[in-house]
Amino acid sequence: MTEQPVTAVIVGAGHRAFVYSRLALTNPEKLKIVGVADPDPVRRKKAMEMFGFPAENCFHDAARLAAVPQFADAVINGTMDEQHLETAIPLLNAGYDMLLEKPFAVCKDDMYKIVDCARRNNSKVMICHVLRYTPFYYGIKERIANGEIGDIINIQTLENVSYHHLSTSYIRGKWANSEKCHTTMLLAKCCHDMDIMMWMMSDTKPVSISSVGSKFQFRPENAPADAGTKCMVDCPHVDTCLFSTKRLYIDHPDRWAFYVWSALEDKEQPTLEDKIALMRSDSPYARCIYKCDNNVVDHQSVLVNFSSGATGTHNMTGGASAPLRRLHIIGTKGEIYGNFEESKFYVSKINPAPGKECDVEEVNLNVSGDMVGAFGGHGGGDERLAADFVSFVRGEPTSLACTSIFDSIAGHLSVYLADQSRENGGMRETVTFE
């Protein structure tokens, strides 16, 4: 007999939740969306129409969902970072398993409250670290797990955040100000990378962290002397500035559309005129990039010491010409290095034979960047993560990448301590697990 699909309710019907939920459309035998909780009636209607559940399964928020008898196996929690505690706790207590967006908590105290709640309820909580599920990182992890390069001595991760991503998400957008979104740049953007580091180093634990970084580029004093406050309203540099809203959003209307044009989502087909009008309004995306209320860093470096004696580094630089993630792992028998965007990596093994130095194998995964998978995104990792969540809930064998909440503690804790170190001028912070 065919096993029934896992049933789930979307909580926080934003872009990421819909991405994971589309597994219900591509593989209905695995997942069925049966409800939604979101304060926005437009998004509730969108979910209801997309997945075909009745209006009585629409709720304003997580609390109202938790107040009725449980009617699904799980929740896909795509709420904003600072809302995870208030949405996760009542729903875990109500009996739901959960797919929870990263970062799953904005501070150490919230992290342990959610972890402890999951443990008390014996809940199955999986964190959306989708990079683990991409062919690039998964393929490298398999080589590490097989011992191909021996014991790891050093691991280096790097992320260059493109100028258009930085300006959209971390200067003008949702994650620009830590006092409002309650997350730092490292937590919002690089908890992926720190998780990858901890996943690759899963045989050992971090024991100390230090970090430095700053807001270097996008400050009021760096704006041109005659710059306006809104690019398409009062700025003479609207056609020449690298970061003009006209050049980033009007000239590229489909890039970051789910953020930039979210205020127009009540319109079925917003016109170019609608978008221009928004860029002349009070939209946060209309502002001069140098005159926003952003307070998060645009570059940061992290140094990690592991109990095995190994070391790790992560470098994040925002404002780069193109997005880039790079990984380099050096072991006692060889090394693995590669570029995520190229979707290929190299395994270089020591070979002291006459006329030799090393043997290098190129592993080309034949994946074209970020537009891969049944519904695109993260090198095809989004759909694989959602499918693994179904197996996780069913109690079936899961992949090497399965991101249980308990496996995600080290990466999150390392981020919190790295930011604490940065705020303290790079002071070494000791890692302790509760």
For 284, the token pair is 């946060």
Q: Is the pTM of this model over 0.85?
A: yes
Provide the pLDDT confidence category of residue 268 given band limits of 50, 70 and 90.
Answer: confident
Instruction: Identify whether the C-beta of residue 110 lies closer than 8 Å to the C-beta of residue 187.
Output: no
In 195-264, the DSSP E strands lie at 206-214
For position 371, what pLDDT does the model report? 37
The mean pLDDT of 233-257, rounded to a whole number, is 96
For position 195, what pLDDT does the model report? 96
- Tens of pLDDT, residue by residue over 169-228, are 999 999 999 999 899 999 999 999 999 999 999 999 999 999 999 999 999 999 999 999
For position 3, what pLDDT does the model report? 81
Query: Residue 141 belongs to what H/E stretch?
Result: helix 135-145
pLDDT at 231 over 90: yes
- Encoded amino acid at 157, one letter: T
Question: What is the rounded distance in angstroms from the CA atom of residue 104 to the CA atom of residue 84?
Answer: 6
Task: Domain 131-218+294-430: state its class.
Answer: alpha beta
Contacts of 31 (CB under 8 A, 6+ apart): 5, 6, 7, 8, 21, 23, 24, 386, 390
The mean pLDDT of 347-354, rounded to a whole number, is 97
Sequence ranges of the domains in the chain? 6-101, 131-218+294-430, 220-291
Provide the pLDDT confidence category of residue 372 given band limits of 50, 70 and 90.
Answer: very low
For 81, the token pair is 């970072």
Q: What is the rounded average pLDDT for all residues in the chain?
A: 94
Domains 6-101 and 131-218+294-430 share a fold: no
pLDDT at 260 over 80: yes
For position 381, what pLDDT does the model report? 82
C-alpha torsion 378→379→385→391, nearest 10: 170
- Tens of pLDDT, residue by residue over 403-412, are 899 999 999 9
Superfamily of domain 6-101: NAD(P)-binding Rossmann-like Domain (3.40.50.720)
List Cα–Cα distances, 316 to 211, 242, 313, 425, in angstroms: 11, 21, 10, 17
List Cα–Cα distances, 81 to 55, 104, 105, in angstroms: 27, 7, 7
For the chain, report the end-to-end CA distance as a whole number of angstroms: 44
Higher pLDDT, 425 or 383: 425
